[in-house]
Amino acid sequence: MSQNYKSKTIATWLALLLGSFGLHRFYLYGLSDKWGWLHPWPTLVGLYGVQRMDLLGQDDRLAWILIPILGLMLVNAAITGIVYGLSSDADWNAKHNPDQTIRPSGWAVIIAVIACVMMGGICLMSTIAFSAQRYFENQVESPASADPTNPANSNLPNSK
């Protein structure tokens, strides 16, 4: 293998395993890639949301906002892995390995694409479910505040 060869299989697996941190972009374009450096920050923000929910409980509203950001970064990484893995070998080599012979990709890239589809689907559905649950929980009035016999609600306009 030549020194500059960029493997489609490695790029697909990097997108699956560490794509939310941008490692697939650093592998393909080097450390000077601006888009690669934008990946870690939202991922770390989302991980901070997970940590907040672990420490403060599920009623932490900031965590409600931050955790879906992590989910979206994981989905983004999975979609990128799918796009990398499903690109034809000729197109891949024309873009990332010009002036080199075409090397066919094997089953490892297909397994990575299948894993990307599974992980991406799970992360997307989980993010949607988490966000929808938190949204609707926020919209529902709590039973204590709706009870007119509750002494805490004596200053409400319709209370006795």
Range in 13-27, 81-95, 96-110, 112-126 with the lowest mean pLDDT:
96-110
* Confidence (pLDDT) at 141: 59
Higher pLDDT, 4 or 108: 108
For the stretch 98-151, pLDDT in tens is 888 877 888 999 999 999 999 999 999 999 999 998 888 888 755 555 556 666
| pLDDT of 158 over the 80 cut | no
Contacting residues for 25 by C-beta, under 8 A, at least 6 apart: 33, 35, 36, 39
* Confidence (pLDDT) at 100: 81
Higher pLDDT, 25 or 58: 25
| pLDDT of 20 over the 60 cut | yes
For the stretch 48-75, pLDDT in tens is 999 999 999 888 889 989 999 999 999 9
Q: Cα(86)–Cα(12) distance, rounded to whole angstroms?
A: 9
Q: Cα(58)–Cα(46) distance, rounded to whole angstroms?
A: 15
